[in-house]
Structure 1
Amino acid sequence: MKIAFSCLPGWDAFLQKPTLASGSLPDWLREMPAVSKSAVLADAEVRTLKQCPPFLDAMRDGILFPLATDVTVKDGSFSWDWDLPAHPKARMTRSPLGVHVPEQALKVPGVDENHFAIKFNNFWTISLPEGWSLLFGHPANRLDLPFRTLFGLVDCDRWSDGYVHFPALWSDPDFEGTLPAGTPVAQAWPIKRQELELSFAEMDSAGLERHLELQNALQEEPGLYRKIYRQK
């Protein structure tokens, strides 16, 4: 699938570009050991999330959208110094951040009614093939980030000349420091628009036999899913 991005004339040299998530795993994951001893299990060795393909594949799949420039957080305020030039015609903001007033998330569980929500501004339009949408949300399993990006689904095959921005809740009130340019602020996964049909049934004898064989194989072969079933 080809996904096309475009920006305003004269801005390409100033902008961070979205990247494939497969090449942007965080340092903490690379540094995580593959096995660890569990105090709960009398120091028995257990495999860590580094050996969990579904956990890793969620982080590797799709596209990561970066923070446009360094943003400093201090005393509850956000600041930046960025020399993105003004465009003579376009109305697009040059600010890497915007806000949503508290009333826009009225009665949403987990949202402080006295706090603004931030909005990470995205400076790239996105074009997908006909029939495809993008599901945007918080970068998968990135609980280390001091914010939580909200999820949204956009029909980017049609909304290809407008921008998609990323509202987020600031989740770490004690954070002070600089979020560097390129910090992933959203992840997007292509979703094909099609009607879903759900089917339910008990296993027949053949299905039960396959299930039991798989359960036995899981006990005998660590990493069975990764070795045989996972589609790279």
Structure 2
Amino acid sequence: MSFHTPGQLAGSPFATPGQAALKFNSLWTIQVEDGWSLFATHPVNRDDLPFRLVTGLVDSDRFNDGGINFPAVWTEPEFSGLLRKGTPVAQCFAVPRVEPQLEYEVFDEKRQASYAQTVADILSTPGVYRKRFRARRGRSTSE
């Protein structure tokens, strides 16, 4: 563990005058396929941690000869103690580094009616999303 200069956070919601960013140093790296990046973020659903990781992208198809360091800020200024061995500090996902081709569509009357019915079903009956729309591993959504 070390520190980034305060300039590392300049312009971000985490910038606090005079506060340096933590740096979780790693001695490992991740190499992904050409054209892919690594999306690093705070561990999902871990608001109990006394720090907040600064989310970012690492072009780890190109940068993989050195360890990946993860900047963070303390969210509990009064924290005193140790982080237990095995405490997650980052969660990473490989993402393609391509510009998405977005298409915009205007809802026609049929699509508006379908939208309204789906929202009404979800609001009126528990489990609609889970039972009708969420994919289950090894099964089709129609089973």
The reply on whether 1:159 has 2:63 as its aligned counterpart is yes
How far did 1:228 drift?
A: 2.2
Residues 1-232 of structure 1 aligned to structure 2 (within 5 Å):
97-232=1-136
CA contact (8 A) 1:137 1:187 kept: yes
TM-score, reference length from structure 1: 0.53
Runs of 4+ in 1 over 6 A off after TM superposition: none
- 1:185 CA displacement: 0.6
What do you get for the CA RMSD once the two structures are aligned?
Answer: 2.0
* Shift in CA distance, 208/104, structure 1 to aligned 2, threshold 3 Å: closer
Q: Distance in 1 between matches of 2:54 and 2:95?
A: 17
| Alpha-carbon distance in structure 2 between the residues aligned to 1:176 and 1:225 | 43
- 1 CA distance for matches of 2:7 and 2:37? 28
- What do residues 31-53 of structure 1 show as CA deviations (whole Å, max 9, x unaligned)? xxxxxxxxxxxxxxxxxxxxxxx
Tell whether the 8 Å contact from 1:103 to 1:113 is kept in structure 2 after alignment. Answer: no
Q: Alpha-carbon deviation of 1:109?
A: 3.8
C-alpha spacing 1:231/1:194, structure 2 compared with 1 (3 Å): farther
Distance 1:106 1:211 in 2: 42
- 1:142 deviation in Å? 1.6
| 3-state secondary structure, aligned to 1:148 | strand
What do the CA deviations read for 1:89-119 (whole angstroms, capped 9, x no partner)?
xxxxxxxx01112244345444222122110
Alpha carbons of structure 1 residues 104 and 161: separation in structure 2 relative to 1, 3 Å: closer
Paired positions, count: 136
SS of corresponding position for 2:30: strand
Alpha-carbon separation, structure 1, partners of 2:29 and 2:16 = 31
Structure 1: unaligned runs, 5 residues or longer: 1-96
TM-score w.r.t. length of structure 2? 0.82
Provide the C-alpha distance between the structure 2 equivalents of 1:110 and 1:150, rounded to a whole number of angstroms: 8
The whole-number CA distance in structure 2 between the counterparts of 1:185 and 1:215 is 37
Percent identity between matched residues is: 41
**Ranges in structure 2 where 5+ consecutive residues have no aligned partner:** 137-143
Aligned partners of 1:122, 1:167: CA distance in 2, in Å?
11
